[in-house]
Amino acid sequence: MEKIHFYHSPVGLLVLGEEDGFLTRVSFHKGINTPYIIESTPLLEKTEKQLKEYFKGERIAFDVPLRPMGTDFQKKVWKALQSIPYGSTASYGDIARQVGTEKAFRAVGMANNKNPLAIVIPCHRVIGSDGKLVGYGGGLENKVFLLSHETKYRK
């Protein structure tokens, strides 16, 4: 059963989840549809610490063990998202090409929307092909905040 911990971040209340020693969730609190236990663990505390460092501009990458739950295609997309450098962006089309499905940018968008590890797997760095900010599960205002934050602290 997933153990969860709540973190009050600059982008709102985040739910951090762990199962079997792997981070399984960093989500904006909108309700949890799976069984869980509220329990702080060393991994969840480490994740919160790293998120705090990220928000202070002291961390550009996370080093916690991840286990995002999804389809093989979603996992491929989420892996590609992790290759987008801190402070940079890529389009849905860029990610579709990277995962070998050039015309599947809509499917990439759906996988992006299902990302269970917001911020840690940086789906906020994906933009429309015209350079516009489109969609974000945590709200467009948080996407703007995260991208501006990364631009400010880019080294």
Active-site positions? 123
Amino acid at 102: E
Neighbours of 45 (CB within 10 A): 13
Q: How far is CA 8 from the centre of its chain?
A: 16
Using DSSP, state whether 46 is helix, strand or coil. helix
Strand partners, 78: none
